[in-house]
Structure 1
Amino acid sequence: MATDLTLMAQALSRVLGWTYFLCWSLSFYPQPILNWRRRSTRGFGIDFPTLNVLGFAAYTLSTGAMLFSPTIRAQYAYRYPSAPESTVRVNDFVFALHAAIVCIIIYTQFWVWGFEVGKDQKISRTSLGIFWGNLLGVAVIVFLVLTRGKDGGNDPSGWAWIDTIYALGYVKLVVTIVKYIPQAWINYKRKSTVGWSIDTILLDISGGILSNLQLFIDSALGGDWTGITGNPVKFGLGNVSILFDVIFLIQHYALYRNATKVIEIQARDERDGEHRPLLEDGRSSGSSNDSQV
């Protein structure tokens, strides 16, 4: 009976894993599609895709190492002897790789697609500081592994290469914590979510809930909750995403639900003004003067 329940739990874990993978992967498409349909990135902060590129590049490297590097897998088993198998799954790596590629494409919509980009759509100094600060932090860990690690970083009892992998994972966690803040602030200042796809949020919150469920099941199957402490990034990603998704849902459906049409009209008027020929007023005023004469 216990074996049957274990098999069912393992199957459920795989289903949850690939379902959250689909939800989170699909969540990347509504925003670029919305930008493409509007031929504009207005209402969509550039901080978000900039930090996303860094975060998912780091997450791809960390999950890939946890899955495919014998050295990292052995060091993980040494650090967590009661649960020597990491809770990182293939769907985590595939999701991270796919997300990194799509985020790069989204980032290019601000530069090479010819879309309308607002003059104020520039990455903030805070986001730039976070971007380079994270890279510096990883470089410091690599330096410590090389200079203070035993056996060239291959001995997990001291500074080891797995610490670099953890650092990359924490880069993704830090990025996830901060990347939503500029967009939430933009929505607050504009008193609207126009330009920010709510479909992205609905898929994202679904993926976060399913990701946490899979992590709990995997930890229960391992008989040790260090499956969560040994994979804090995955646990943190799901919960931070859910928190901000709730904020965006409140903004969209409660706080600013009546502001959508007003912002759309204002944006249309701004575009019409920007694209109106400069000589149009001169011609119309000239014709008016002629008629008066």
Structure 2
Amino acid sequence: MASWNSVSLEVTYEVLGWFAFIVWSISFYPQVILNFRRKSVVGLNFDFVLLNLTKHSSYLIYNSSLYFSSAIQKQYFQKYGYDQMIPVAKNDVAFSIHAVLLTAIALFQIAIYERGSQKLSKICIGIVSIVWLTAAVCFFVALSNHSWLWLLNVFNSIQVLMTTIKYIPQVSMNFLRKSTDGWSIGNILLDFSGGIANYGQMVVQSVDQDSWVNFYGNIGKVLLSLVSVFFDIIFIIQHYVLYPDKKSSKLVTTTEDEDQIREHLNRPSDESPSENV
């Protein structure tokens, strides 16, 4: 296994990694706190939460397996070379564990708080069911010939797919409502910062090793950063440019605001936002 050539780059790598871990981890709290204070999840798209849980669960399986399993690491080195470094850091594993827990809490809030007419779409339920069924089939295929690195790449592909589509329901919902009420912009700003830091961390490692295997050897992490940043920019534009008069000035929305949101969501002529995904 390769070692660092530059102490300064190694320190920079660790700083960027833990910065990404901190801001990404904190990014889950604004939405959870907003839900708690409002005692409502109106404005938070349920499809986004379920797809996000599937995404982070897959990412946790990938990160923890590649970081802790010597057998999988051996297969990685055989494929990419023993002079390469494992593209998963401690902060990646820590972030994944934290992300699964906080997303599960958000899903629990959906079950207990006021949600108006919002519900999970059949499309989302179908996607998640197919994804986990496919993962189960791939597990038994990998079990027969111990192709564990291939299986991890399947989970990596799942998390990339979920990252790509998970934001679409919330973007669509904001567009239909012409509002970002109930959707925390604090989550987005922190997520944006973490994505940039995560990408920078990979660049630092590649510069030190004078190799870009770090990128195509962990394409999931690359796409995770790029896709997240892309959608974060869309949310920022929606919140500050497209619907500035519709956003809440405080974390706790007023009763009048809540009534207006529910009235809009309950109109017979309107489709449920989650069904439009």
Structure 2 stretches lacking a partner, 5+ long:
264-277
Alignment deviations for residues 171-220 of structure 1 (CA, whole Å, 9 cap, x no partner): 11111111100000000000000000000000000000000000111122
Q: Name the counterpart of 1:126.
A: 123
Q: Which amino acid aligns with 1:269?
A: D
Matches within 5 A, 1:200-211: 200-211=187-198
1:116 partnered with 2:93: no
Q: Which amino acid aligns with 1:40?
A: S
Provide the rounded CA distance (Å) in 1 between the counterparts of 2:254 and 2:32: 18
Among candidates 254, 266, 269, match of residue 259 of structure 2? 269
Matches within 5 A, 1:135-146: 135-146=132-143
Among candidates 185, 197, 204, match of residue 217 of structure 1? 204
Matches within 5 A, 1:220-231: 220-231=207-218
Matches within 5 A, 1:174-185: 174-185=161-172
Alpha-carbon distance, 1:167 to partner: 1.0
SS of corresponding position for 2:111: coil
1:107 partnered with 2:97: no
8 Å CA contact 2:5, 2:208 repeated in 1 = no
TM-score (norm 1): 0.83
8 Å CA contact 1:180, 1:244 repeated in 2 = yes
Provide the rounded CA distance (Å) in 2 between the counterparts of 1:52 and 1:261: 24
**Misfit runs of 4+, over 4 Å:** 261-266, 270-273
8 Å CA contact 1:34, 1:195 repeated in 2 = yes
CA distance 1:220–1:261, change in 2 (3 Å): closer
Alignment deviations for residues 14-33 of structure 1 (CA, whole Å, 9 cap, x no partner): 00000010010000000010
Alpha-carbon distance, 1:82 to partner: 6.2
User: How many pairs does the alignment contain?
Assistant: 258
Alignment deviations for residues 146-193 of structure 1 (CA, whole Å, 9 cap, x no partner): 44x3xxx1xxxxxx1111111112211111111100000000000000
Alignment deviations for residues 242-274 of structure 1 (CA, whole Å, 9 cap, x no partner): 00000000000000001236996753435999x
8 Å CA contact 2:6, 2:208 repeated in 1 = yes
Q: Which moved more, 1:39-48 or 1:214-223?
A: 214-223
Provide the rounded CA distance (Å) in 2 between the counterparts of 1:171 and 1:249: 26
TM-score (norm 2): 0.87
Q: Which amino acid aligns with 1:183?
A: Q
Provide the rounded CA distance (Å) in 2 between the counterparts of 1:129 and 1:237: 23
Provide the rounded CA distance (Å) in 1 between the counterparts of 2:21 and 2:66: 18
Matches within 5 A, 1:184-195: 184-195=171-182
Structure 1 stretches lacking a partner, 5+ long:
154-159, 274-293
Provide the rounded CA distance (Å) in 1 between the counterparts of 2:256 and 2:126: 33
Provide the rounded CA distance (Å) in 1 between the counterparts of 2:92 and 2:75: 20
Q: Name the counterpart of 1:286.
A: none
Provide the rounded CA distance (Å) in 2 between the counterparts of 1:272 and 1:210: 38
Q: Which moved more, 1:74-83 or 1:19-28?
A: 74-83
Higher RCO, Cα 8 Å, sep 6+:
2
Q: Name the counterpart of 2:270.
A: none
8 Å CA contact 2:30, 2:184 repeated in 1 = yes
Alignment deviations for residues 88-121 of structure 1 (CA, whole Å, 9 cap, x no partner): 1010000000110111011000113xx21112x1
Q: Which moved more, 1:102-111 or 1:50-59?
A: 50-59
Provide the rounded CA distance (Å) in 2 between the counterparts of 1:59 and 1:260: 32
Matches within 5 A, 1:1-293: 6-81=6-81, 83-112=83-112, 115-119=113-117, 121-147=118-144, 149=145, 153=146, 160-260=147-247, 267-269=257-259
Identity %: 37
8 Å CA contact 2:43, 2:182 repeated in 1 = yes
8 Å CA contact 1:47, 1:123 repeated in 2 = yes
CA distance 1:259–1:272, change in 2 (3 Å): closer
